Amino acid sequence: MTDTTTPSTGDDAMDRVLAHAEKRTEVRTFGAAQALQDESTTAHSTTDGNQWDLEDRHALRRVGGLSTELEDVTEVEYRQLRLENVVLVGVYPQGAQEDAENSLRELAALAETAGAVVLDGVLQRRPHPDAATYLGRGKAQELKDIVAAVGADTVIVDTELAPSQRRALEDVVKVKVIDRTTVILDIFSQHAKSREGKAQVELAQLEYLLPRLRGWGDSMSRQAGGQVGAGGAGMGSRGPGETKIELDRRRIRTKMALLRRQIRDYAPAREAKRAERKRNTIPSVAIAGYTNAGKSSLLNALTSAGVLVENALFATLDATVRRSETSDGRVYTITDTVGFVRNLPHQLVEAFRSTLEEVGDADVVLHVVDGSHPDPAGQLLTVRDVMGDVGVRDMPEIVVFNKADLIPDDERLVLRGLEPHAHFVSSRSGEGIAELRAAIEEALPKPAVEVRAVVPYDRGDLVAAIHETGMLLSVEHQEDGTAVHARVSERLAAELAPFVR
Mean pLDDT over 246-254 rounds to 86
Give Cβ neighbours of residue 198 (< 8 Å, ≥ 6 apart): 192
Instruction: Give residue 372's pLDDT.
Output: 85
Distance set, CA 41 to CA 76, 418, 429 (Å): 36, 25, 11
CATH number, domain of 337, equals 3.40.50.300
Distance CA 274, CA 58 (A): 33
Mean pLDDT over 380-396 rounds to 79
Hey, what amino acid is at 129? P
Instruction: Give residue 74's pLDDT.
Output: 39
Do 424 and 285 sit in the same domain of this protein?
yes
> Which residues does residue 243 pair with via DSSP β-bridges, in sequence order?
221
pLDDT in tens, 160-213: 888 888 889 999 999 999 999 888 888 888 877 778 878 888 888 898 888 887
Do 184 and 153 sit in the same domain of this protein?
yes
3-state SS, residue 299 = helix
End-to-end CA distance of the chain: 65
- Model's pTM, two decimal places? 0.69
Do 381 and 415 sit in the same domain of this protein?
yes
Do 178 and 203 sit in the same domain of this protein?
no
Mean pLDDT over 16-27 rounds to 44
Instruction: Give residue 157's pLDDT.
Output: 93
Phi-psi region of 203 (alpha: psi -120 to 50; beta: other; left: phi over 0): alpha
Distance CA 211, CA 346 (A): 14
Domain assignment of residue 207, yes or no: yes
Q: Are 19 and 133 in contact (CB under 8 A)?
A: no
Instruction: Give residue 49's pLDDT.
Output: 61
Distance CA 305, CA 53 (A): 13
> Which residues does residue 368 pair with via DSSP β-bridges, in sequence order?
289, 400
Domain assignment of residue 488, yes or no: yes
What are the two backbone dihedrals, phi and then psi, of residue 323, each rounded to the nearest 5 degrees? -90, 145
Mean pLDDT over 359-368 rounds to 84
Domain assignment of residue 48, yes or no: no
List strands edge to edge, sheet with 331-336. Answer: 320-325, 331-336, 284-289, 364-370, 397-402, 423-424
Distance CA 91, CA 101 (A): 10
Do 398 and 424 sit in the same domain of this protein?
yes
Mean pLDDT over 295-308 rounds to 80
Q: Are 210 and 249 in contact (CB under 8 A)?
A: yes
Instruction: Give residue 257's pLDDT.
Output: 93
Do 345 and 367 sit in the same domain of this protein?
yes
Residue 67: pLDDT band (50, 70, 90) is very low
Work out the angle at residue 237's Cα, subtended by the Cα atoms of residues 234 and 242, and round it to the nearest 5 degrees: 135
Do 313 and 425 sit in the same domain of this protein?
yes
CB atoms under 10 Å from CB of 319, counted, come to 22
Do 301 and 413 sit in the same domain of this protein?
yes
Instruction: Give residue 354's pLDDT.
Output: 63
Question: Of the candidates 403, 415, 350, 406, which has an alpha carbon nearest to the alpha carbon of residue 377?
Answer: 415
Distance CA 89, CA 126 (A): 13
Question: Of the candidates 422, 345, 331, 431, which has an alpha carbon nearest to the alpha carbon of residue 376?
Answer: 422
Distance set, CA 426 to CA 47, 306, 429, 442 (Å): 12, 17, 5, 20
> Is 269 or 53 the better-scoring residue by pLDDT?
269
| H-state helical runs in 87-136 | 97-114
Residue 241: pLDDT band (50, 70, 90) is low
Distance of CA 407 to the CA centre of its chain: 23
Question: Of the candidates 182, 122, 117, which has an alpha carbon nearest to the alpha carbon of residue 151?
Answer: 117
pLDDT at 495 over 90: no
Distance CA 358, CA 284 (A): 9
Do 415 and 457 sit in the same domain of this protein?
no
Domain assignment of residue 295, yes or no: yes
Average model confidence (pLDDT) across the chain = 76
3-state SS, residue 18 = helix
3-state SS, residue 449 = strand
Distance CA 356, CA 395 (A): 13
Distance CA 260, CA 257 (A): 5
Instruction: Give residue 89's pLDDT.
Output: 92
pLDDT at 8 over 60: no
Residue 337: pLDDT band (50, 70, 90) is confident
Domain assignment of residue 119, yes or no: yes
Do 168 and 94 sit in the same domain of this protein?
yes
Q: Structural domain tally of the chain?
A: 4
Domain assignment of residue 139, yes or no: yes
pLDDT at 1 over 50: no
Please classify residue 284 by burial: count the beta carbons closer than 10 Å to its beta carbon, then call 0-12 exposed, 13-18 middle and 19+ buried.
Answer: buried
Please classify residue 205 by burial: count the beta carbons closer than 10 Å to its beta carbon, then call 0-12 exposed, 13-18 middle and 19+ buried.
Answer: buried
Domain assignment of residue 233, yes or no: no
Positive or negative: CA dihedral 65, 69, 71, 76: positive
Question: Of the candidates 40, 17, 34, which has an alpha carbon nearest to the alpha carbon of residue 110?
Answer: 34
pLDDT in tens, 103-119: 888 888 888 888 888 88
Percent of the chain with pLDDT over 90: 7
Instruction: Give residue 486's pLDDT.
Output: 85
Distance CA 395, CA 389 (A): 13
State the residue range of the domain holding 371.
Answer: 281-443
pLDDT in tens, 272-296: 776 766 666 778 888 888 888 888 8
Mean pLDDT over 448-455 rounds to 85
pLDDT in tens, 407-422: 888 888 888 888 898 9
Catalogue the E-assigned strands of 93-193.
116-125, 154-157, 176-179
Do 178 and 305 sit in the same domain of this protein?
no
> Which residues does residue 286 pair with via DSSP β-bridges, in sequence order?
335, 365
pLDDT at 453 over 80: yes
pLDDT at 319 over 70: yes
pLDDT at 250 over 90: no
Instruction: Give residue 400's pLDDT.
Output: 92
Do 209 and 321 sit in the same domain of this protein?
no
Domain assignment of residue 73, yes or no: no
pLDDT in tens, 391-409: 777 778 899 999 888 888 8
Instruction: Give residue 31's pLDDT.
Output: 45
> Is 215 or 153 the better-scoring residue by pLDDT?
153
